Amino acid sequence: MKEFRDKVAVVTGAASGIGRALAQRFAREGMKVVLADVEPAALEQAAREIEATGTQALAVRTDVSKAAEVGRLAQAALDKFGAIHVVCNNAGVVTSSPSWMQTVADWEWVLGVNLWGVIHGVRVFTPILLSQGVEGHIVNTASMAGMICGPGAAPYNVSKFGVVALSETLHYELTMLGAPVHVSVLCPGFVNTNIFDAARNRPAALAETAPKMPGAEEMEQMARQLLAAGSPPSLVADVVFDAIRNERLYIFPHPEWKQYITSRMEGIVAERNPTLGTMEEVFSRLRGSN
């Protein structure tokens, strides 16, 4: 995609973190931006910040886990701006506990936002982009947890591997059509966001959480430290924009992590069981990659 001025971008999870940075990056390119999130106050503030730069913005409160709400988001964007050119399916949440201790509510919440949110986005927005007959792009936010995985966040890992698979499948399908619409899958490492505080927006109907295993608080604290020391969301947004412009499927803002993808794939081909070592060794290794 080469032309951005006066085009329309829709970004979910836009009230904070990577989503907010993406919305701001698109606005700097002269795009009209539709921001979606479940957190209304922060969403409105993010939209006001963009409008203050002289760019048109629209805030639409949206629970991406619900197909009807994603459909209403698309209609609101079309009603306001008449077209949609870039869609970032970006909303994400996480829970932390061993696989067998995660509750059904944990699984439903994480998969609902992280995976079904992207599925709904692809189902709703892809036909719109294709029908316009002009350049368009879809960005699905996965994670390095969609390329490699470790213990303690099974629903998150499953959701992110699913987003990668969906994005690769969509890439093949759009290529077969010869469509001017392309897709990217974003797989960042550690980024300085508040994803570990996402439970503040967790639906009451899915409030049952898993009990913490011994050492869980220490693990979460280490993970929070890694995030706090991670890349600023604005850096990730710059990398994403470059990938859209160059129609690149895989987006790795942290290339130092590629060695772990290579190691995993080589181990799979060799049919070796993966080993991580102690959790202290895992976090020490990840700290060195950050």
User: 8 forms bridges with which residues in the sheet?
Assistant: 32
Beta pairing, strands 136-141 & 86-89: parallel
Q: Cα(8)–Cα(87) distance, rounded to whole angstroms?
A: 9
Q: Cα(20)–Cα(160) distance, rounded to whole angstroms?
A: 20
Q: Cα(127)–Cα(74) distance, rounded to whole angstroms?
A: 11
Q: Cα(148)–Cα(164) distance, rounded to whole angstroms?
A: 11
3-state secondary structure of 118: helix
Q: Are 113 and 62 in contact (CB under 8 A)?
A: no
User: 60 forms bridges with which residues in the sheet?
Assistant: 36
Q: Are 78 and 87 in contact (CB under 8 A)?
A: no
250 is catalytic: no
User: 141 forms bridges with which residues in the sheet?
Assistant: 186
Q: Are 27 and 47 in contact (CB under 8 A)?
A: no
Amino acid at site 148 = I
Q: How far is CA 228 from CA 131, 192, 197, in A?
A: 42, 5, 13
| Active-site hit among 156, 172, 250, 260 | 156
Place of tokens 């994803």: 195
Q: Cα(80)–Cα(30) distance, rounded to whole angstroms?
A: 16
Indicate the burial class of 32 (C-beta count within 10 angstroms; 0-12, 13-18, 19 or more): buried
Active centre residues (catalytic): 156
